[in-house]
Chain A
Amino acid sequence: MGYSGYDIEDAIVMNKSSLDRGFGRCIAMKKHTITKENYGDGLSDRIAKPQRDTNGVLVMQNMQALDEDGIAAPGQIIRNHDVYVNKQIPTNTDRRVADTNDKLSIIKCIIRHTRRPEVGDKFSSRHGQKGVCGTIVQQEDFPFSERGICPDLIMNPHGFLSRMTIGKMIELIGGKAGLSCDRFHYGSAFGEPSGNADKVEDISNTLIKHGFSYNGKDFLYLGILGHPLEAYIFMGPIYYQKLKHMVLDKMHARASGPRVLLTRQPTQGRSRDGGLRLGEMERDCLIASGASMLIFERLMLSSDPYQVQVCRKCGLLGYYNHKLKAAYCSMCKNGENMAKMRLPYACKLLFQELQSMNVVPRLKIG
């Protein structure tokens, strides 16, 4: 069944009440390592105990998790911006001494986080039918049957067509029959000659005996309006797993931040607090829309703007002499025809690299 459009492209719709009751909850343990370094001359990092005033009240509120040794006590709750190892580093750390192992100490902290599923978390059944959670819907909006059954999760049936995961359908129909007749079913697709496997035919008979339709489809009502759904819905138990790809570990956004030394463009990737790339296809869209100022802003102003001095005569890059307060072209050996302009730093870099290879790029300025 397709539901609400939030289940296209393998996304799944989840029932909020099921999540409240514990479906898909997980415990994520994350290890953090802190090294205590030596700088020679008896200088080293230190773990300080939390600072308190004369009444014994913490000076810094974000140190509430710390024990008297300066490390968070086991079982403490850590909130946003809390300190869990109070490491202090000397101001002068130039003379870093080569680590002699016995002087180096490491503190490892394991932080536990119980997570409930959220939009964007990845789930999978045992047939490789994986998908992210597209939306979470209140139970009263979910479809229900006249027996009162309300699903935990809705998967879009378009996932079956090209992937041909018959196993999942057999798991569903076999599971449904198995729990209505209180018996395990053997769902092998290969065991039929031995007679041990439960054939779909037998399963269908069991379903009919317990008042279900032979094909595993149920008649459902739409929870939002209370009307019957136009189609019969293939509904039954499927084993679902939560996969370790969770949005909480992946979400990332940046306005301004670090840049790469060489190109002066924003860094790449979440771990380096990188920027989000406006790629070629996105650029094409903006060109098609005629949004030239937006392209200019994205590709230059928000990336790596750089001011250069260009010689109008030879078309090469000059430089600005701060002593004489004038631009100068080192090719023409004068500063007469200089023009100021802005271009991406990566462009200036390209010109210089080309020049170093005996290729001369010349800018023609009208």
Chain B
Amino acid sequence: MDRPAAGASYQRFPRVRIRELRDDYAKFELRDTDASMANALRRVMIAEVPTVAIDLVEIEVNSSVLNDEFIAHRLGLIPLTSAAAMQMRFSRDCDACDGDGSCEYCSVEFHLAARAESDQTLEVTSNDLRSNDPKVCPVDQARAYQQALSGSDFDPNTGDQRGILIVKLRRGQELRLRAIARKGIGKDHAKWSPAATVTFMYEPDIRINEELMETLTLDEKRSWVESSPTKVFAIDPITEQVRVADAEEYTYDDEVIKKAEAMGKPGLVEINAKEDSFIFTVETTGAITAYELIMNAITVLRQKLDAVRLQDDDGDLGELDAHLGGP
């Protein structure tokens, strides 16, 4: 492999085009970069963008059917609004407290008290959690609050606004606890991962051999188009020509290529993945918006790169440089 002389720049200038951006969903294109960059971004989004989640639970009374650690686990998995998480401190680096969650810089306290008084089963949900910091609360509480502000009809008991179920209580059962939420990253525990889905695909480059295609009858074309499990190709109703309807629907399943070979027309279509073009799909848990997730991921990635760059020159990198035939 040719290696450029030391000091040569590998710098590329990636381009991003946002296709769709909603609160908890984003779809964008990332072009002019490698799989390494795209994958680094994906990995950081899943594992290293910080959020806030319940980490310590002190149970005062629990006469429910679920045991203490079960409830603590369920509480931990509730997504909390974490827009402020980037500015918060990790409790292990916090010098204002000794990590017991007593300080405002690294922790948020929650209280929950529920007791079933009536014969009806009481559902304890994330809506029963009371936060001492209005910035950090369960995401569905935050959403309900937003809706109430915007003036739309708000009924806390309809549809998906009931909150996330923690436990069901029978008459006389009680649950009372204090919980401390802390900042963390998805690498330590999945509860801190803001990403529900982060994935990318290589953009496919589809070339139909028009000459060969014209040798097919309409029925043959139709059966060939239908051999793809996803709707990648379509037949133009007027010209009766096969065209690419949606290249991104292609799942690299090779079905159309196999079909073409089975029809005795190898080379009917040529499909390659563009090596430097990626289509990202990002969905969040609601802890932060998809936009924040992407931007925070870039920030975290830069911080990591800075850490590498600022490392002592005599360190491992110096050896690596020598190994690569550097100065």
B-contacting residues of A (Cβ < 8 Å)?
16-18, 20-22, 25, 27, 75, 112, 114, 138-140, 144-148, 207-208, 211-214, 218-219, 221, 223-228, 232
Q: Is the CB of B77 within 8 A of A21?
A: yes
**Cα–Cα, bound, A112→B201 (Å):** 46
**Cα–Cα, bound, A140→B47 (Å):** 7
Q: Is the CB of B190 within 8 A of A17?
A: yes
Report which of A114, A223, A225 forms a contact with B70, defined as CB distance below 8 A: A114
Q: Is B311 an interface residue (CB 8 A)?
A: no
Q: Is the CB of A213 within 8 A of B193?
A: no
Q: Is the CB of B273 within 8 A of A228?
A: yes
Q: Is the CB of B190 within 8 A of A213?
A: no
**Cα–Cα, bound, A146→B249 (Å):** 10
Q: Is the CB of B251 within 8 A of A213?
A: yes
**Cα–Cα, bound, A246→B191 (Å):** 25
Q: B46 to chain A: which residues have CB within 8 Å?
A: 139-140
Q: A145 to chain B: which residues have CB within 8 Å?
A: 199
- Please judge, given known A-B contacts A16-B190, A146-B201, A212-B229, whether A226 and B42 are in contact too, CB under 8 Å: yes
Q: Is B38 an interface residue (CB 8 A)?
A: yes
* Subset of 16 A-B contacts with CB under 8 Å: A17-B193, A20-B191, A75-B68, A114-B67, A139-B186, A140-B187, A145-B199, A146-B199, A148-B283, A213-B229, A221-B199, A223-B43, A226-B39, A226-B42, A228-B202, A232-B253
Q: A224 to chain B: which residues have CB within 8 Å?
A: 39
Q: Which residue of A lies closest to B282 (CB)?
A: A148
Give the 10 A-B CB pairs with smallest separation, nearest first.
Answer: A226-B39, A148-B197, A20-B190, A146-B201, A17-B190, A148-B199, A226-B35, A140-B43, A219-B252, A208-B229
Q: A221 to chain B: which residues have CB within 8 Å?
A: 199-201
Given A146-B199, A214-B229, 18 new contacts (CB under 8 A)? A20-B191, A21-B191, A22-B73, A25-B73, A75-B68, A139-B46, A140-B42, A140-B43, A140-B47, A146-B281, A148-B197, A148-B199, A211-B229, A211-B230, A218-B251, A225-B36, A226-B35, A226-B200
Of residues 188 to 221 in B, which have CB atoms within 8 Å of A's CB atoms?
189-191, 193, 197-202
Cβ-Cβ contact count across A and B, 8 Å cutoff: 81
**Cα–Cα, bound, A226→B273 (Å):** 13
Q: Is B69 an interface residue (CB 8 A)?
A: yes
Count of B interface residues, CB-CB < 8 Å: 36
Q: B73 to chain A: which residues have CB within 8 Å?
A: 22, 25
A-contacting residues of B (Cβ < 8 Å)?
35-36, 38-39, 42-43, 46-47, 67-70, 73, 77, 186-187, 189-191, 193, 197-202, 229-230, 249, 251-253, 255, 273, 281, 283
- Please judge, given known A-B contacts A21-B190, A148-B198, whether A114 and B47 are in contact too, CB under 8 Å: no
Q: Is the CB of A138 within 8 A of B187?
A: yes
Q: Which residue of A lies closest to B76 (CB)?
A: A20
**Distance from B138 Cβ to chain A, minimum over Cβ atoms (Å):** 17
Q: A140 to chain B: which residues have CB within 8 Å?
A: 42-43, 46-47, 187
Q: Is the CB of B47 within 8 A of A138?
A: yes
Please report whether the interface of chain B is mostly helix, strand, loop or mixed according to DSSP.
mixed
Q: Which residue of B lies closest to A144 (CB)?
A: B199
**Cα–Cα, bound, A18→B77 (Å):** 12
Q: A148 to chain B: which residues have CB within 8 Å?
A: 197-199, 281, 283
Report which of A17, A112, A228 forms a contact with B252, defined as CB distance below 8 A: A228
**Distance from B58 Cβ to chain A, minimum over Cβ atoms (Å):** 12
Q: Is the CB of A27 within 8 A of B197?
A: no
Q: Is the CB of A225 within 8 A of B186?
A: no
**Cα–Cα, bound, A18→B198 (Å):** 15
**Cα–Cα, bound, A17→B187 (Å):** 9
Q: Is the CB of B199 within 8 A of A17?
A: no
Q: Is the CB of B35 within 8 A of A114?
A: no
- Please judge, given known A-B contacts A112-B67, A226-B38, whether A219 and B253 are in contact too, CB under 8 Å: yes
**Distance from B74 Cβ to chain A, minimum over Cβ atoms (Å):** 8
**Cα–Cα, bound, A16→B186 (Å):** 10
- Please judge, given known A-B contacts A20-B190, A138-B47, whether A225 and B35 are in contact too, CB under 8 Å: yes
Q: Which residue of A lies closest to B279 (CB)?
A: A146
Q: Which residue of A lies closest to B62 (CB)?
A: A75
Q: Is the CB of B186 within 8 A of A17?
A: yes
Q: A112 to chain B: which residues have CB within 8 Å?
A: 67
Q: B251 to chain A: which residues have CB within 8 Å?
A: 146, 211, 213, 218-219
- Please judge, given known A-B contacts A112-B67, A207-B229, whether A213 and B255 are in contact too, CB under 8 Å: yes
**Cα–Cα, bound, A18→B69 (Å):** 17
**Distance from B29 Cβ to chain A, minimum over Cβ atoms (Å):** 14
**Cα–Cα, bound, A22→B198 (Å):** 21
**Cα–Cα, bound, A25→B76 (Å):** 15
**Cα–Cα, bound, A112→B69 (Å):** 11
**Distance from A137 Cβ to chain B, minimum over Cβ atoms (Å):** 12
Q: Is the CB of B67 within 8 A of A139?
A: no
Q: A223 to chain B: which residues have CB within 8 Å?
A: 39, 43
**Cα–Cα, bound, A11→B112 (Å):** 42
**Distance from A67 Cβ to chain B, minimum over Cβ atoms (Å):** 18
Q: B281 to chain A: which residues have CB within 8 Å?
A: 146, 148
**Cα–Cα, bound, A20→B38 (Å):** 26
Q: Is the CB of B190 within 8 A of A147?
A: no
Highest count of chain B CB atoms <10 Å: which of A27, A139, A218, A226: A226
Q: Which residue of A lies closest to B273 (CB)?
A: A228
